[in-house]
Amino acid sequence: MKPFTALLGVSAGTHAADQLALATLPLTATLILGAGPDVLGLLVAAQSAAWLLVSLPAGAWIDRLPRRRLLIVALGLGLLASITAVVAAATGVAALLGMAAFAGASGTVVFVLTSVSLLPSLVPSGDLPRSNARLELTRAVVSLAAPFVAGLLAQHLTPTWGYVLAAFGAALALVCALALPKGVAPNNPANRPSFIQSIRAGAEFVARHELLRGISLCAICWNFAFFALLAIWAPLALGPLHLDPAHMGLAQSAYGAGLILGALVAPVSSRQLPPFATLIFGPAVSVIAAICFLMAPSGGGFVMSAIGHFLVGFGPILWLICQTTVRQLVTPAPLMGRVNATVQTAIYGVRPLGALAGGLVAAQAGLQSALILIAAAFALSTLVIVLSPLARLRTMPAAA
C-alpha cells in the first residue's frame, strides 16, 4: 500500500469514528440519560476539551517521536474509547461517557496533527492543495453519513449502536496505520530544548507570523460559534423544530454534503481564485448559515436547518484547506508539529468554551438568544480576516 493511500485509510477510519461519536453523544445524552442543554453542553465540552489540553503536548511529541508509532498508540486509544462509551451508555453513567468522549477525541487530535505534519514529506509542495483536499474529502464523506446513520440507529434501535460502528472505524484506522512506512525517528540532538521550551517555540512562531496569527484569531471565533451550535442543536431540533431523531440526523447530514462539495471544489478554486477570496468566503458564508438557523423555528424548520448545516460545511471547508496549505508552506520543517499544534489549539481548543456558552445561554435565556450569540461569533470571525494581512494574500506564499 502506498504511503499516501495508507494515510487516506487512516483518515477515513479515524474521522468515521470521530464523527459517529460526535453525532451519537447528544442523542445518547438526550434519549438515554435524559440530559438537558446544560449537561449536554458539559458532555460536548468534554469531547472537545482534548483539542485544548492535548494539542500542544502532541505537537512536541510529533517533532520528537516516530510518527507511525505515535499514530498507532493514538488510534488504539480511540478504539478503547468507543468500547468504553458503549459501556457508559449501557450503564447510564454520564461521567464515564464524558471520559470516553475525551479519550476518543484525544486520539483524533494526535492523528490530525500528525497527518498535517507528515503530508509535506509525502507529496511535493505543489500537490499540497490537492492532497489536503483529498484528506478532507474522506472526513467530508463520513460527516455526511454519520449523523444520518446515528439518527436512524437511535430511532429504530438505540444510540449505543453508533458507538459500536465508531469502534469499527477506529479499528480500520489502526490497521491502515500499520501499513505506513516506519521512517526515521526525529533527530535527538544533545542540546534539545526542554519540553516546555519546545512548545513555547512553536507558539512564539505563530504569534510573530502575521498570516498564522490571523488564521488563529479567525479560527478562535469561528469554532466558538460552531460548538455553541453543536451544543444546542439537539434541543433545537427535538424541541422548537419538532424533528424526530431520523430527520434531525438527516438535516445535520447536510453539513457533510457541504464538506464533500467544498472538498471537491477546493482544488479548482485554489487554481482559479486568489487565497484571500477563499479565506474571506469561508467565515462569511457561516453568517448566512446562522441566519438560516434563526429563521428555522418560524417555518420550514427542516429545510432551513439543513441549508444552515450545508453552508456551515461548504464555506469553512474551503477556508480550512486553504489555510492548512498556507501554514504548511510558511512553517519550517523542524517546527511543523509544534506550529500545527499551536494553530490547532486555537482552532479546536476554544470549542469547550463555545459548547459551554451555547448550553448555558440556551438554558438561561432560551435557544433564540443562543443562536444570536452564534451569529455574532461567526460575524466576528469574518471581520478578523478582513482586517488582517490575509485579506491581501493574492498568491500562495513561498515554501519555507
Whole-number Å distance between alpha carbons of 287 and 312: 9
pLDDT at 191: 55
pLDDT at 192: 64
Instruction: Check whether 353 has a pLDDT greater than 70.
Output: yes
pLDDT at 138: 81
Chain position carrying cell 480550512: 320
Phi, psi of 132, rounded to the nearest 5 degrees:
-60, -40
Q: Look at the domain 3-182+193-392 and name its fold.
A: Growth Hormone; Chain: A; (1.20.1250)
Most confident of 89-93, 283-287, 295-299: 283-287
Closest CA to 12 of 82, 83, 108: 108
pLDDT at 104: 85
Distance of CA 26 to the CA centre of its chain: 16
Instruction: Check whether 395 has a pLDDT greater than 90.
Output: no
pLDDT at 184: 47
Q: Say which residues have a Cβ less than 8 Å from residue 383's Cβ, sequence separation at least 6.
A: none
Whole-number Å distance between alpha carbons of 257 and 255: 5
pLDDT in tens, 139-184: 777 777 777 777 777 777 777 787 888 888 888 888 888 878 776 4
pLDDT band with cut points at 50, 70 and 90 for residue 382? very high
| Prediction pTM value | 0.71
Instruction: Check whether 349 has a pLDDT greater than 60.
Output: yes
CB 50 within 8 A of CB 106: yes
User: What is the residue extent of each domain of the chain?
Assistant: 3-182+193-392
Instruction: Check whether 285 has a pLDDT greater than 90.
Output: yes
Mean pLDDT across 231-246: 84
Instruction: Check whether 190 has a pLDDT greater than 60.
Output: no
pLDDT at 319: 93
Which has the higher per-residue pLDDT, 396 or 278?
Answer: 278
Rounded to the nearest integer, the mean pLDDT of the chain is 83
Most confident of 1-5, 206-210, 298-302, 381-385: 381-385
Closest CA to 283 of 221, 228, 331: 221
CB 86 within 8 A of CB 160: yes
pLDDT at 64: 77
pLDDT in tens, 15-58: 888 888 877 877 777 777 666 666 777 777 777 777 778 888 88
pLDDT band with cut points at 50, 70 and 90 for residue 4? confident
pLDDT at 188: 53
pLDDT at 193: 67
CB 279 within 8 A of CB 318: no
Whole-number Å distance between alpha carbons of 289 and 305: 8
Instruction: Check whether 375 has a pLDDT greater than 90.
Output: yes
Give the CA radius of gyration of the chain: 20
Which has the higher per-residue pLDDT, 68 or 92?
Answer: 68
How deeply is 145 buried, as exposed, middle or buried, from its count of CB atoms within 10 A (0-12, 13-18, 19+)? Answer: middle
pLDDT at 186: 54
pLDDT band with cut points at 50, 70 and 90 for residue 123? confident
